[in-house]
């Protein structure tokens, strides 16, 4: 086992045990029944792709790749690239909204079914940052590269320098500067971080998450999306989860890791997403002002989603069908 993989495994095992203790009140491993259920589902191999929001083209792309036999991580990356390259999407990739000083800075991470992962933070001038995160995973001894270091690494890997600030994003930013108030909107219809989870024909699960972050954020701000465990987490024996919404709140509860650990302890993807949202709303009176949404998949191919406020939808591709699903939500008042 490579040294960095060993270190990562050790850290995750430690964190997993700690959370298992909190959840169950004792340090017991999951019951024999639960273990058996997990084992039974290991042969499941229906290709499935799910992604945050209504990114139909991106999800269809990933689903089609999976149907051709492409592995989960590569399918997820080719799916999210559709949005990274979509100039009309103002919260992902090229065309993304800038920070308050006019710099478009992108964040992304990927996690593979063998537990390996890569991440890039605050990267300028590179469009396909999910692929760049994969290169950090496969071509460096590290997990995270940030800012200029990530950008220089991208050029060494053959990525081209791109102009990420489009005329439309620049105009919107200039308008915002007229009365600058930092107030992220609760739901920006179908235009937000894309987080994608794929299960391939071998039943292996992997995921990718990519974003330009919250519009008009402070220079240097990084949210949950590129942080393994917060924006995305995969454990191929159990399942995976991704987040979208107010990154600061996801970071405080390590939401995606929490969901996978809840599933490890026997919860369905749906119940695990509900519990992860409850962890936030129960401690934070300000939840009325922000949106958080999670989607999750388990090894049996069951999926789930939950969010704070009405309006979040996600895409689900299975058996050649690509559907937009309305998520249940917490704030019914």
Give residues in contact with ligand ASP (CB under 6 A): 91, 192-193, 211, 213-214, 223-225, 244-245, 247
Which of 90, 91, 105, 193 is catalytic? The answer is 193
Q: What is the DSSP string of 163-223?
A: ----HHHHHHHHHHHHS------S--TT-S-EEEEEE-TTS-EEEEEEE--STTPPTT---
Q: Pick the closer one to ligand ASP by CB: 78 or 211.
A: 211
Rounded CA-CA distance 57/62 in Å is 9
CB of 111 to ligand ASP, least distance (A): 16
CB of 150 to ligand ASP, least distance (A): 16
253 is catalytic: no
CB of 149 to ligand ASP, least distance (A): 20
Q: Pick the closer one to ligand ASP by CB: 40 or 183.
A: 183
Q: Between helices 56-67 and 72-84, what is the axis angle to 10°?
A: 150
Q: Between helices 129-139 and 147-156, what is the axis angle to 10°?
A: 80
Q: Pick the closer one to ligand ASP by CB: 63 or 245.
A: 245
Closest residue to ligand ASP, judged by C-beta, is 247
Q: Between helices 3-24 and 255-264, what is the axis angle to 10°?
A: 70
- Long-range pairs for 327-331 at CB < 8 Å and ≥24 separation? 327/293, 327/295, 328/270, 328/274, 330/274, 330/277, 330/278, 330/281, 330/287, 330/306, 331/281, 331/287, 331/288
Q: Pick the closer one to ligand ASP by CB: 159 or 290.
A: 290
Three-class SS state of 108: strand
Taking alpha carbons only, the member of 296, 303, 187 closest to residue 242 is 296
Residue pair 56/65 in contact (Cβ under 8 Å)? The answer is no
Q: Pick the closer one to ligand ASP by CB: 195 or 239.
A: 195
CB of 260 to ligand ASP, least distance (A): 18
CB of 44 to ligand ASP, least distance (A): 29
Catalytic residue numbers read 193
């Amino acid at each position: 086992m490579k040294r960095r993989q060993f270190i990562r495994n050790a850290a995750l095992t430690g964190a997993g045990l700690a959370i298992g203790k909190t959840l169950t009140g004792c340090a017991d491993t999951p019951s024999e029944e639960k273990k058996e259920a997990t084992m039974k589902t290991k042969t499941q191999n229906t290709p499935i792709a799910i992604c945050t929001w209504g990114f139909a083209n991106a999800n269809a792309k990933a689903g089609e790749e999976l149907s051709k036999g492409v592995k989960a991580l590569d399918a997820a990356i080719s799916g999210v690239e559709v949005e990274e390259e979509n100039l009309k999407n103002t919260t992902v990739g090229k065309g993304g909204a800038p920070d308050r000083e006019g710099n478009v800075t992108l964040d992304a991470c990927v996690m593979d079914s063998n537990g390996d992962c890569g991440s890039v933070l605050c990267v300028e001038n590179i469009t396909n940052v999910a692929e760049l995160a994969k290169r950090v995973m496969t071509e460096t001894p590290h997990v995270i590269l940030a800012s200029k270091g990530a950008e220089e690494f991208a050029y060494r890997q053959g990525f081209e320098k791109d102009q990420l600030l489009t005329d439309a994003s620049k105009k919107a930013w200039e308008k915002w500067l007229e009365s600058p108030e930092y107030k992220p909107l609760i739901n920006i219809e179908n235009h937000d971080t894309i987080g994608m989870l794929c299960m391939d024909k071998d039943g292996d699960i992997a995921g990718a998450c990519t974003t330009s972050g919250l519009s008009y954020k402070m220079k240097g701000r990084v949210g949950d999306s590129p942080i393994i465990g917060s924006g995305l987490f995969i454990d191929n024996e159990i399942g995976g989860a991704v987040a979208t919404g107010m990154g600061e709140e996801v970071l405080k509860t390590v939401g995606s890791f929490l969901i996978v650990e809840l599933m490890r302890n026997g919860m369905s993807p749906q119940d695990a997403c509900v519990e992860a949202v409850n962890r936030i709303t129960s401690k934070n009176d300000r939840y009325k002002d922000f949106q958080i949404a999670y989607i999750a998949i388990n090894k049996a191919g069951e999926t789930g989603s939950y969010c704070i406020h009405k309006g979040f939808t996600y895409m689900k591709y299975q058996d050649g069908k690509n559907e937009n699903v309305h998520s249940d939500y917490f704030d019914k008042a």
